[in-house]
């Protein structure tokens, strides 16, 4: 009965979509400019995102008209909650806009602000992610703390498994634990616990970073509302910012994720974080 109900939800929608991904972080992207607004219920989003009975995705994206940019990108996570930012999705949407306009640059509006997207080669895109939020109120945290290393630990008080993570907002909240060996990091065990920790009133994306060198970081993530994903663009940016603030890495870093690599440059000239990586088109379909 539950499966039939979910299929009925999908059949009730008659929208064309593209399935795309950035480093395996995958999206259902619906073009709604010049069409009626697309406002799926949380139940409908969960049905579409379900990898067993729906299409399957980490996030559902709607491309809408923007009064200030080339397009507005609306984002729902797999649990049906609307969120403000997604770096990998911004690359995909920006690439689509550039393909449609024939230009080498596009401006994508999100709830977190305007993001400039620039072509960087064959199906490679650079996004100006803007300045990171580093104040405790930017994350936000429930109480005042130094975001270089907040008072949070996992495990026994006298011998914690994880402790003192950094926090960064990249338009969405991130906490980054530094670990000696990413292969044994407890992403699936700790991620859902920290995602809903009382310190993070809006929830949080939970990252685990291993410093390989000053210009190379291995990163895995438990995404808020999506779980473990193959990559997270904003998370990769947050990992570099958090690592540099702890003097563990430089400002230009390759972030190695399960789905591939991102090039991150936290510029000194204007404090903006630049993210470069690939996009991929998987298939087209129709929600009906």
Residues acting as catalytic residues: 86, 232
Structure tokens at 141: 């945290």
First-residue to last-residue Cα distance in the chain: 19
Q: In terms of Cα–Cα distance, which of 20, 10, 76, 6 is closest to 278?
A: 20
């Amino acid at each position: 009965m539950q499966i039939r109900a979910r299929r009925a939800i999908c059949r009730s929608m008659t929208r064309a979509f593209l399935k795309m991904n950035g480093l395996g972080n995958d999206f259902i992207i619906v073009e709604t400019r010049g069409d009626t607004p697309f406002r799926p219920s949380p139940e409908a989003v969960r049905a579409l995102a379900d990898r067993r009975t729906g299409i399957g995705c980490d996030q559902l994206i709607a491309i809408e008209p923007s009064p200030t940019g080339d397009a507005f990108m609306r984002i729902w996570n797999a649990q049906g909650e609307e969120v403000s930012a997604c770096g990998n999705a911004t690359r995909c949407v920006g690439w689509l806009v550039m393909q449609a306009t024939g230009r080498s640059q596009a401006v994508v509006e999100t709830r977190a602000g305007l993001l400039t997207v620039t072509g960087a080669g064959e199906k490679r895109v650079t996004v100006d992610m803007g300045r990171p939020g580093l104040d405790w109120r930017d994350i936000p945290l429930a109480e005042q703390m130094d975001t270089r290393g907040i008072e949070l630990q996992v495990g026994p008080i006298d011998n914690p498994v994880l402790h003192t993570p950094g926090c960064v907002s990249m338009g969405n909240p991130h906490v980054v634990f530094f670990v000696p060996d990413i292969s044994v990091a407890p992403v699936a065990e700790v991620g859902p616990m920290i995602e809903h920790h009382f310190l993070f009133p809006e929830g949080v994306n939970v990252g685990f970073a291993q410093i390989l060198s000053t210009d190379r970081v291995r990163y895995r993530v438990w995404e808020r509302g999506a779980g473990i994903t193959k990559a997270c663009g904003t998370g990769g940016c947050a990992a570099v910012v958090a690592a540099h603030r702890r003097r563990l890495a430089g400002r230009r870093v390759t972030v190695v994720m399960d789905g591939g690599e991102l090039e991150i440059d936290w510029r000194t000239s204007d404090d903006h974080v630049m993210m470069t990586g690939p996009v991929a088109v998987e298939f087209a379909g129709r929600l009906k």
